[in-house]
Every structure is written in structure tokens, then in C-alpha cells.
Chains A and B, each alone.
Chain A
């Protein structure tokens, strides 16, 4: 949690935007640990402590958090859909199978709309892209501080839980699509692909360099726009969650007595846990109301009281804004997953068609 001074605010944002990196620190790199400065005598594969070390690792590093969340979510996707596939019958579908079939039907429709070639891979590719990206984007809706805080408590310094805010992830998928585009362009069109690159849009040998330049730019722009669009949208969304969270925290700072008292007693680092406790208490109060154990009037009073304790109405405003943005963001994450999928289909469709 950030306090009021700009330094810790910057720190807070930077902490949120730092991946958990495992990589190779080069020989001669000076590490600053608690024990003091230490100069590495050989290349070392290790976890990076902080942005400086991560930057020093350069290309030979891997974002452990991004990869773990991305693979984990991918496995969830495969598991859920495989389970549905095993249960799929020609009889009456029920429950989860209904939902899966809705998704499959929707994607099958989208593919049939824009892809007219014969390729058994496009539809499953589209399904994987849509659901997987949707799940990755969905991580954005978890409270921004929740998992990083828990991870810090568990001893993991950095944790970025939304893989699609990592350009490596989005560009990795876009490049995967790009490889497929190239493969099918060459497989389907053969020399026609070279002709397309060199003889369009000006069909004359003298224009070959110009044509080549224009077509190559057009070709390369596809994966870049594909990957960066998703990354940009998700990164911006995440950023707004972080900014609102800071206002939320600022509310705690300026809030009525207990906000400050909490900081006094436990230090700013444990504020997250404090928020969690309050959140659970409020949920508990609401739950008791639902169970009919306490009246609605008392529920409102108790909730307001808890929120006052937790940092005042300002904080409540911050919470509401998080909530509002999260609702709006549901649209964004679905839309971005859908756009990535549709563009993939369209690009592959273009790779399959002789004339464009």
C-alpha cells in the first residue's frame, strides 16, 4: 500500500508492474543484498530481486509469474473443456456442458463466417485463443493487491497475475499466429505467396522493391498490432486498477482514526491484510443479513461503521470506483479476447485465399 508521499506511490506502481523474473545474471554484475554488495564471479541463473537485476538479465530471463499463470489458466481451460468433451452426449446437454457448447457454437459460427477454406485447425485454434485469453484477462478482475500481497506474505517478492499485461505473453501468441500465417501462405499459395509479396500492388517488375517493402510492412504489422493491441488494452486496464487502488489507499491515510492507527500499529505493509479483514467482516455482516440474523438497518449501520474504521467514506468511494471499473472492464476483457480471435481467423483466412 502506498502512503501519501510520491516516492512510495511510485514504488507501489513499480512493484505492481514488476514481474517475477528468473534469469541469468551476467558475470561481474554487482548484487545488492541484505548482506551487502556482492560481485558475481560467473554467470548465475537466479531469481531477480528488483527491476535493476531483471533488466540486467536481458533476454536470458523468463517471467515465472506470467508463465505460471498462463500455463495454469491454459490447463484450467483444457481440463474444463476436456471434461465437457468427455461428457458430451447426443442427449440433452445440462449444466456446464450447455455453457461449453454455447461457447463452441459461438466460435464455430465466427469461424464459419470469416474462414472459408478447409482447415481443421482454425476452429480449435480460435477456441483456444478466445477462452485462454479471456481467462488470462479475467485475472484482472481479482483485486489488484490481493494476490501480490498474499505472495509477499508467502515470501515471493513480485507477482503479476495478469499474463496478458505482459507483452511477452501477448506477442508470443501473436507470433504463434504469425508462424501459422506464414506456414499456410507458403503451403497453400507456394510461389504465389512470393508473387503476392513482390507484384502487389503495382504489377510491374520495376516496382518489385517498393512492392516488397509495402507488403512486408503490411505483413509484419499484423502480428505486432495483434499482440500489442491486447497488451495495450490490458496494461491500461491494469494501470487504472492500480491508480484507483492508490486512491483507495490514500483514503486510508486521510481516513478517520483507525486508518491512521492501523498504519501506526502495523506499518503500511500490512494494510492489505487489514483491508482483507475488513472486507471479510463486511461480507460477514451482509451474509448475516441474508440469513436473517440481523435487520437491514443494522446491517447498513454496521457496514458503514466498519468502513469508517477501515478508512472512511473516501475509501468507500475508491472501492466503488474499483467495482465500477471492474464492471466496465468485463466488457474490455471479453472484447479483446474476441478481437484477438477474430483477427486470427481473418489473417489465416487471408493466408488461405489466392487473391486479395
Chain B
């Protein structure tokens, strides 16, 4: 347990190893570690940013989808409305056409009736004349008159 030269030998050795470590070991390793730390931090940052971007893009996509859906719904609505309108218009047109046809038909019928009436009137007048002629020709026989008048009446 005697103290001797070993003491100084160890001091010198110690100094040399510390110098070596300070020169060739510590800075190299620490620098590598710090650079890696920086790199990892950058990487994480980038990942975060990408995540945020993704989030934003997702939001945007959802918005666009919603818009598109709304637009589509609007278009369908409009189309439905338009279809109803067309149907209504067609109905109205059909009704108007029907009415018009009915009026025309009625007018024609009226016309026919009038013509028939005219014809009837003409033929009644003829008949009456013919009947009167007959009556005047065959004198008056009650019975015969009677029959004639009846005949006349039935011809009316």
C-alpha cells in the first residue's frame, strides 16, 4: 500500500486518455448524435406537416363532395320541377285542346241541328202544302181527313 511512482504514471496515463477522448471520441460521437437528433426532429416535423396537409385535404375533399351532392340534389330538384311543369303544361294544353274540340264539336252539332231544323222546316212546309192540297182535293171526309191529318202528323 505504498505510494510510489505509479501515482504519477497513472496521472500521465489519465491525462493522455482524457486528451484522446476529448480529441477523437467525444466530439465525433456527440456530433453524430446531435445531427441525428436534428434529422429525426426534422422528420417528425415533416410527418406532422404532412399529417396536417392530409387533414386539410380531407376537409377540402369532404367540402367538395358536399357541394357536389348539393349541386346534384339541386339539379334533380330542378329537373323534377321542370318535369312537373312540363306535365302541367301538357295537361293544360290537353285540357285547352279538349275544350276547343268540344266547342268546335258543339258548334258543328248546333250547325247540324240548325241545318236539320231548316230542312225540317222546309219539308214541313212542303208536307203541309201537300197535305193541304190533298185535303182540298178529297173534300172533307171526316174519317178521311182524320186519317190524313194523322198521317201528316206522323210524318212530322
Contact B4–A62 (Cβ < 8 Å): yes
Q: B25 contacts which of A58, A74, A78 (Cβ < 8 Å)?
A: A78
Q: How large is the interface on A (under 10, 10 to 19, 20 to 34, 35 or more residues)?
A: 35 or more
Contact A88–B3 (Cβ < 8 Å): no
Q: Which of A97-114 contact B (CB under 8 A)?
A: 100-101, 104-105, 108
Closest CB of chain A to B3's CB: distance in Å? 6
Bound Cα distance A100, B21 (Å): 13
Q: What residues on B are CB-neighbors of A176 within 8 Å?
A: 10-11, 14-15, 18
Interface check B118, CB cutoff 8 A: no
Bound Cα distance A132, B14 (Å): 9
Contact B25–A85 (Cβ < 8 Å): yes
Q: A124-B25, A125-B22 are in contact. Are A172 and B17 (CB under 8 A)?
A: no
Q: What residues on A are CB-neighbors of B140 within 8 Å?
A: none
Bound Cα distance A74, B11 (Å): 13
Closest CB of chain A to B32's CB: distance in Å? 4
A19: nearest chain-B partner, CB-CB: B6
Contact A127–B10 (Cβ < 8 Å): no
Bound Cα distance A67, B6 (Å): 7
Q: What residues on A are CB-neighbors of B13 within 8 Å?
A: 67, 70-71, 74, 172
> Per-residue 0/1 for B26-42: is the Cβ within 8 Å of any A Cβ (1 yes, 0 no)?
11111111011001000
Most chain B CB atoms below 10 A, which of A74, A105, A166, A168 = A168
Q: What residues on B are CB-neighbors of A101 within 8 Å?
A: 29, 33
Q: What residues on A are CB-neighbors of B6 within 8 Å?
A: 61-63, 66-67, 166, 168-169, 172
Interface check B155, CB cutoff 8 A: no
Q: What residues on B are CB-neighbors of A124 within 8 Å?
A: 18, 21-22, 25-27
Q: What residues on B are CB-neighbors of A74 within 8 Å?
A: 13, 17
How many Cβ-Cβ contacts under 8 Å join chain A to chain B?
133
Q: What residues on A are CB-neighbors of B29 within 8 Å?
A: 81, 84-85, 88, 100-101, 104
Interface check A263, CB cutoff 8 A: no
Interface check A197, CB cutoff 8 A: no
Contact B2–A58 (Cβ < 8 Å): yes
Contact B28–A54 (Cβ < 8 Å): no
Closest CB of chain A to B16's CB: distance in Å? 8
Bound Cα distance A11, B81 (Å): 117
Contact B17–A128 (Cβ < 8 Å): yes
Q: A85 contacts which of B2, B14, B24 (Cβ < 8 Å)?
A: B24
Contact A57–B4 (Cβ < 8 Å): yes
Closest CB of chain A to B26's CB: distance in Å? 4
Closest CB of chain B to A160's CB: distance in Å? 11
Q: What residues on B are CB-neighbors of A23 within 8 Å?
A: 4-5
Q: What residues on A are CB-neighbors of B35 within 8 Å?
A: 90
Contact B20–A78 (Cβ < 8 Å): yes
Closest CB of chain A to B70's CB: distance in Å? 50
Interface check A60, CB cutoff 8 A: yes
Q: A88-B32, A104-B30, A172-B14 are in contact. Are A167 and B25 (CB under 8 A)?
A: no
Interface check A337, CB cutoff 8 A: no
Contact B4–A123 (Cβ < 8 Å): no
Q: What residues on B are CB-neighbors of A59 within 8 Å?
A: 2-5
Contact B10–A168 (Cβ < 8 Å): yes
Bound Cα distance A70, B8 (Å): 13
Closest CB of chain A to B19's CB: distance in Å? 9
Q: What residues on B are CB-neighbors of A168 within 8 Å?
A: 3-4, 6-7, 9-10
Q: What residues on A are CB-neighbors of B27 within 8 Å?
A: 120, 124
Contact A104–B11 (Cβ < 8 Å): no
Closest CB of chain B to A132's CB: distance in Å? 6
Bound Cα distance A211, B18 (Å): 34
Contact A70–B10 (Cβ < 8 Å): yes
Closest CB of chain A to B14's CB: distance in Å? 4
Q: B residues near A, CB below 8 A?
A: 1-11, 13-15, 17-18, 20-22, 24-33, 35-36, 39
- A selection of 26 A-B contacts at a CB cut-off of 8 Å is A54-B2, A58-B4, A59-B2, A59-B4, A61-B2, A67-B9, A70-B10, A71-B13, A77-B17, A81-B25, A82-B25, A86-B28, A88-B29, A89-B32, A104-B33, A121-B18, A127-B25, A128-B21, A132-B17, A168-B3, A169-B6, A171-B10, A172-B8, A173-B10, A176-B11, A176-B15
